[in-house]
Amino acid sequence: MLRSRRVKLYKFVPSDGGEESKPGIDKEEVRGILELIASTGKFWHDWDKLKSMISFHLKQVLSEYPEAKMTSEEQNAILGETYEELMKRLDEALHSFDEGPPFTLQRLCEILLAARSIYPNLSKLALALEKNLLVTSTLTVCMDPYPQTMQKLDEPDKAHEEPQPQSNSIQNGVEPMVGDGDEIMAEVQEADIDDDMTIDMEAFEEIVGSSEPNSTPTGNS
């Protein structure tokens, strides 16, 4: 059972059955924390709070199995006990850890996150959970910085996605003339040709002018 002092920590979230779930439990937040523990094998939260989160998720997982909706007689025939008795037994085993979580916490979270894909029926899931709860060694809270799990996955790649300069972009308030480079080069070449022709014509006139006095025609030729 949750203590009243935990009510203010999280918002109320309706359960799938239409009833109000436990005060202070957010399913998405709980799943994110369990995924972090499953991937790192460490925990950063106060154990009492974390224990309540795991207990909540444990009951959610158990309730998703069809055996949970069977009659008591059918449950006894399949499970050897009623669903309520099974759930209470596993939850009490979890709450028996006072000082810290069992050292099998990582595996426990892995099972709860993928229970339906690993264990096809409730009896096999219950055995796996019981095996990981019937231990005595515990873990201590991790003192490392809490991982930034909420960062977007594409943020580390932003440095590699800097926009490349484009020829038609406006830089410093001046828009470059696209495609004018060839025209400018052509004008320069034409100017060079005109200058060369002017120089050649001047040289030709000097040559012709200097040769005229030496080319006086003779009358008897």
The domain segmentation of the chain, as residue ranges, is 27-134
Residue 9 is classified by DSSP as T
Question: What is the CB neighbour count within 10 angstroms for residue 33?
Answer: 21
- The two tokens of residue 163 are 């926009």
Are the C-beta atoms of residues 8 and 17 closer than 8 Å to each other?
no
CA-CA distance, 9 to 24, in Å (whole number)?
Answer: 6
Whole-prediction pTM = 0.58
Residues of the chain with pLDDT under 70: 1-24, 149-221
What are the tens digits of pLDDT across the range 195-215?
Answer: 544 445 555 555 555 554 554
Nearest to 53 by CA among 79, 34, 67, 70: 34
Helices (H) and strands (E) in the chain, counts: 8, 0
pLDDT, one tens digit per residue, over 174-198 is 444 555 555 444 454 544 545 544 4
pLDDT tens, 155-169?
444 444 444 555 444
15 contacts: CB under 8 Å, gap ≥ 6: 21, 60
Signed CA dihedral, 128, 135, 41, 28: sign only: positive
Percent of the chain exceeding pLDDT 70 equals 56
